[in-house]
Amino acid sequence: MRPKELLTLRWEDISINITDTKEQQQTHRLLKVRTENSKTGKMRSVNGPVGRRLKRLKKSYENLAMECGSEHYILRNPTYKKQDKNSPYQEVVFTNRLNKVLEETGIQEELDKRQRKITLYSSRHFYTTLRLQNGLDILLLSKQLGASTNYIDQTYSHIKVKTNTERITQGMSLIKTLEEEQEISLL
């Protein structure tokens, strides 16, 4: 999900996929990206293994005496002044935390040496790359991401080429055999 889509997620946007196995229903959830929070202006569902994390988060809120009603944001600010105001975290809070973690772990120094950068949005690119490397159909991936197949193809097409050597070169052994036979006949 895009950062804004994640930060505006409410408990009412979470559901169990009734077509999942009983085991998957313990771990996976459908997350509804509402039209008003979607970059494309289209509602979509994202399927992910976040069930246990959401359960722990809900328990943490309850331990702070914060309600988890359907209208409440999932990632809301639990500070004393904002606990009962249903205020979602702002993206800058997570960006600052990410930067602090990168700095304190020494990762930022390594990134600087390589002229690389990690942002909240980076996880979306990482997810897309992993899914393509593992052979997920580009149409299904586009539905999950809320992005066009054309965009995914233009941005990540190099991954499909790198991870499909076997499929791309299928049948090429015939050419090699013909070349070898030709070399033998020339001798």
Predicted local distance difference test score (pLDDT) of residue 57:
94
In 3D space, the residue among 49, 42, 36 whose CA is nearest the CA of residue 10 turns out to be: 36
DSSP states along 42-53: --EEEEES-HHH
Q: Is residue 76 within 8 Å of 58, Cβ to Cβ?
A: no
Burial 74-98 (b: 16+ CB within 10 A, else e): bebbeeeeebeeeebbeeeeeeeeb
List per-residue pLDDT tens for the chain, 187 residues long: 999 999 999 999 999 999 999 999 999 999 999 999 998 899 999 999 999 999 999 999 999 888 899 999 999 988 878 777 888 888 999 899 999 999 999 999 999 999 999 998 888 898 998 898 888 889 999 999 999 999 998 888 777 666 666 665 666 666 666 667 666 666 6
Predicted local distance difference test score (pLDDT) of residue 80:
77
Predicted local distance difference test score (pLDDT) of residue 172:
64
Instruction: Please give the single-letter amino acid code of residue 138.
Output: I
Question: How far from each other are the two terminal CA atoms of the chain, in whole angstroms?
Answer: 62
Q: How far apart are CA 7 and CA 73, in angstroms?
A: 8
Instruction: Please give the single-letter amino acid code of residue 158.
Output: H
pTM of the model: 0.74
Instruction: Report CA Rg, the chain.
Output: 23
Predicted local distance difference test score (pLDDT) of residue 114:
93
Predicted local distance difference test score (pLDDT) of residue 90:
87
Other beta carbons within 10 Å of 32: 19
Residues 6+ apart with CB under 8 A from 158: none
Predicted local distance difference test score (pLDDT) of residue 112:
95
Predicted local distance difference test score (pLDDT) of residue 184:
66
DSSP states along 59-97: HHHHHTT----TTSBSSB--STTTTTTTPBPPHHHHHHH
